[in-house]
Structure 1
Amino acid sequence: MDHRTIIAALTAKERDHLTAKSDLPGLLQLAGHWGAIILLGWLIAMRIPIWPLLMLPQGILIVFLFTLLHEAIHRTPFRTQWVNEIVARVCSFMIVLPADWFRYFHFAHHRFTQDPQNDPELASPKPESVRQYLVHLCGIPVWWSQIKTLVKNASGQCSDAFVPPKGHPKVRAEARLMMIGYAVVLVLSIYLQTSAPLYVWVLPAILGQPFLRLYLLAEHGRCPYVANMLENSRTTTTTWLVRKLAWNMPYHAEHHAYPGVPFYRLPEFHALIETHLKQTEAGYIRFHAKYIEQMR
């Protein structure tokens, strides 16, 4: 049984319930995620005695804005669409990942999941040796790739196959606005003689990136190159805290099987299709232990 059969078997009432959108759950989770970033950022900026220790949790919160950006480009976390757009732009700016460009990239990933010829996520191979694994986890390649994408898009040289010609002006304007925004932050920091953005935002994000890499590798790493979303994507059992941090995206096979389901209804969808999932893992530590063992 594949994901299409699963969706076809749902009743109209079940489909309507699973895809129903609401602002309240998303706004409550947004308040918690952004509120924690603001609070930790303020404590770091105030240089409280333990402020260096706060940079790592701050960085993890910042880089996991990726999962919120991912949800927002699907336009599912909030019923009000302009809220989805604003949230996507803020997250995009914070993690140097252009929202419009990423929407094209990610929708191609959904259309061609685990298709070696067409899935843009597979353009960067998964690590196959311990050295590649460590380089992957350090996060430097992904930061460099995102900066290059931003500069290329801003210069009007976007050549990515998944971006249609009509989308080129959009991704060019987006990249230029983002670069202007970064320039404004830099100029203001110099003018005000403050290093706060460096310690509140930039360095924490660098420190936090390895944790996002660990999380993302489990989504499709070592999954077969097949079209069935219940088999080419992995659902990972994890703690309440990680599910909250990642906006329920550990239910990744469920998300790929039915992308229209908002994050707060994925646990319900999981309960419906759990017995049909082909790729599951009991925690991220176990996933990576197996991944490393297979590399050896």
Structure 2
Amino acid sequence: MTHKDFIAALPKDALAELSRTENAAGLWHLAGHVALIAGFAVWIAQGWPLWQLALVAQGIVICFLFTLQHECTHKTPFASRALNEWAGRIIGVLILQPFEWFRYLHLAHHRHTNIPGKDPELTAGGKPETAWQYIRHVSGLPLWAAMARITWGTARGRIEDDFTPQRAKPRLQREAQTMLAIYALVALSLLASPLLFWIWLLPVLLGQPFLRLYLLAEHGRCAFVADMFRNTRTTYTNRIVQFLAWNMPYHTEHHALPMVPFHKLPALNAAMRGHHKVTAPGYTAFNAEFLRGLGTGQLPARNDGAQ
């Protein structure tokens, strides 16, 4: 059974219920995520014991807001269009990833998931195949360089990708210009106080490698085919990661039915059990297997075990 066969077999009322969005679930989840960021910020600012570890934790929590921004491109975390738009834009500033630009890249990724020459995620560099490429990828440095280049170029009207529609380019340019203006103000604020450096800028540099390790599991070493059951991986993990990643470890589920909001993905996973073709029992296990396969073309082992 392919993912299309699975969708066709779903009762219409079940699909409608799975696809129903709401504000409450997203707002409660966001409140918890923001509370973590605020808590770690106070810990760092006060210099409480183990504040150095809090720097890393803060970076992980901020960087994993990417998963919410990603969901906002689908307009599913909240029923309110304004909430989806503003959440995506604010997160874009925090993680240096313009929301409008990412929206079109991500929609192209969904249209051509893991298809070489069409999926922009593969075109942008693909997945690491050697130990050095893996280290470089996980460091996050290539991502920061690419985001800085894209934001700067977009602000100047130089939008050269093939997935952004012409009509949207002025909007992308305005967003990038606004982001640069905000960063200029942040830079000026550092002359008066280093607070933002310690509670935001340094943490996101330290937290990005953890997001890279997480994202690698979504499609890394999956088949270059159109079937979402084969080109996307669901990773069974603990509740902490599920919370920080807004249930996106259920990634096969998300790609098969991207209109399903994050809080309905566990239910979709339960309905999908027995149909998955590619899963992993956790991110540590996935990356260990990925490392063993570097340079060999070996696929990480399939695991269909329960959570």
Q: TM-score, normalised by structure 1?
A: 0.97
Within 1, Cα distance between the matches of 2:56 and 2:157? 35
Task: Summarize the alignment of residues 149-188 of structure 1 with structure 2, pairs less than 5 Å apart.
Answer: 149-188=150-189
Q: Does 1:292 align with 2:306?
A: no
Aligned length: 294
Code of the aligned partner of 2:249? P
Within 2, Cα distance between the matches of 1:99 and 1:171? 9
- C-alpha deviation, 1:52, in angstroms: 2.0
User: What residue in structure 1 maps to residue 253 of structure 2?
Assistant: 254
- C-alpha deviation, 1:26, in angstroms: 0.7
Within 2, Cα distance between the matches of 1:18 and 1:286? 30
User: What residue in structure 2 maps to residue 28 of structure 1?
Assistant: 28
Within 2, Cα distance between the matches of 1:209 and 1:50? 20
- C-alpha deviation, 1:46, in angstroms: 2.5
Moved over 3 A (4+): none
User: What residue in structure 2 maps to residue 18 of structure 1?
Assistant: 18
Code of the aligned partner of 1:75? K
User: What residue in structure 1 maps to residue 114 of structure 2?
Assistant: 114
User: What residue in structure 1 maps to residue 270 of structure 2?
Assistant: 271
Within 2, Cα distance between the matches of 1:259 and 1:202? 31
Asked whether the equivalents of residues 155 and 174 of structure 2 are also in contact (C-alpha less than 8 Å), the reply is yes
What do the CA deviations read for 1:85-142 (whole angstroms, capped 9, x no partner)? 1111111110000000000000000000011011000011211011111111111011
- C-alpha deviation, 1:281, in angstroms: 0.8
User: What residue in structure 2 maps to residue 86 of structure 1?
Assistant: 86
Identity %: 44
Within 2, Cα distance between the matches of 1:15 and 1:275? 18
What do the CA deviations read for 1:152-185 (whole angstroms, capped 9, x no partner)? 1001011000011111111111100000011112
User: What residue in structure 2 maps to residue 135 of structure 1?
Assistant: 136
RMSD between superposed Cα atoms in Å: 1.0
281-290 vs 218-227, greater mean Cα deviation: 281-290
- C-alpha deviation, 1:47, in angstroms: 2.5
- C-alpha deviation, 1:49, in angstroms: 3.8
User: What residue in structure 2 maps to residue 233 of structure 1?
Assistant: 232
Q: Does 1:52 align with 2:52?
A: yes
Secondary structure (helix, strand or coil) at the match of 2:134 reads helix
Structure 1: state its 5+ residue gaps: none
Code of the aligned partner of 2:199? V
Within 2, Cα distance between the matches of 1:125 and 1:71? 22
1-10 vs 91-100, greater mean Cα deviation: 1-10
- C-alpha deviation, 1:10, in angstroms: 1.1
Secondary structure (helix, strand or coil) at the match of 1:74 reads coil
Code of the aligned partner of 1:171? L
Within 2, Cα distance between the matches of 1:133 and 1:167? 34
Code of the aligned partner of 1:101? W
- C-alpha deviation, 1:2, in angstroms: 1.1
Code of the aligned partner of 1:189? L
Within 2, Cα distance between the matches of 1:287 and 1:52? 28
- C-alpha deviation, 1:199, in angstroms: 0.7
Within 2, Cα distance between the matches of 1:135 and 1:181? 29
Secondary structure (helix, strand or coil) at the match of 1:115 reads coil
Secondary structure (helix, strand or coil) at the match of 1:276 reads coil
Q: Does 1:126 align with 2:123?
A: no
Asked whether the equivalents of residues 190 and 197 of structure 2 are also in contact (C-alpha less than 8 Å), the reply is no
Within 2, Cα distance between the matches of 1:290 and 1:185? 41
User: What residue in structure 2 maps to residue 202 of structure 1?
Assistant: 201
